[in-house]
Amino acid sequence: MFHPLVTEAEASMAKVIDSLKRDLAGIRTGRASPGLVENLRVNYFGVPTPLKQLAAISVPEPRMLAIQPFDRNTLTEIERAILTSELGLVPNSDGRVVRLNIPLPTEERRRELTRVVRKRVEEGRVAIRNVRRDTLEKLRETEKAKEISQDDMKRATEALQRSTDSFIAQADEVGATKEAELLEV
């Protein structure tokens, strides 16, 4: 009975890791990457829509992004979304394409970004621990209802803790990789 609960918890923890990876992809490193802006929310007829659904994002040069909207009427909204984001980039538009020059971050900015990475990794760890806590509560409920034995409860708890430790290590590894990428000169 506990295996489905532990398997469900592992799937939720994997989603937390995927979300963390997507979140960290948006933190810029000095190189142009579509991941930097693709999840940026643009007001499209009153609905916040990810930029990747409204435009083609390409990297024509190593330090430049080109954003070509599918609908030219969204050009000003795309520019506004970029300006109001925490990216610190200034869009250049020629009426058809928005270009973003990616400057090299200063040492101070790199340190600031590493703090942001650490904060987001910690939020990921907390989310993983919350999944563990919720699953333990469900396991205790099934044990109280006599649906599983104490031995099965102990095995399930140990398996859940092993999974939790594994996913927290993955989150730390993702964070360490991103920090190294940020501090690279």
What residue ranges define each of the domains in the chain, with the CATH number in brackets? 2-25+106-183 (1.10.132.20), 34-101 (3.30.1360.40)
Whether the per-residue pLDDT at 50 is higher than 80: the answer is yes
Tokens of 54: 């409204």
Residue 37 pLDDT: 81
Question: Sorting pLDDT into bands at 50, 70 and 90, what band is 2?
Answer: low
The predicted-structure confidence for 27-47, as pLDDT tens digits, reads as follows: 766 677 787 788 788 888 888
Of 97 and 182, more confident: 97
* Closest CA relative to residue 131, chosen from 24, 22, 14: 14
CA separation, residue 54 to residues 50, 89, 90, 108, 172 (Å):
7, 19, 19, 33, 33
Q: With residue 24 as reference, give the H or E element that holds it.
A: helix 2-25
Residue 100 pLDDT: 87
Whether the per-residue pLDDT at 1 is higher than 60: the answer is no
The beta-strand segments (E) located in the chain are: 41-44, 47-50, 55-61, 64-69, 91-93, 98-101
Average pLDDT rounded to a whole number, residues 14-34: 82
Average pLDDT rounded to a whole number, residues 15-34: 82
Whether the per-residue pLDDT at 85 is higher than 90: the answer is no
Residue 136 pLDDT: 94
The predicted-structure confidence for 111-164, as pLDDT tens digits, reads as follows: 888 888 899 999 999 999 999 999 999 999 998 998 888 898 999 999 999 999
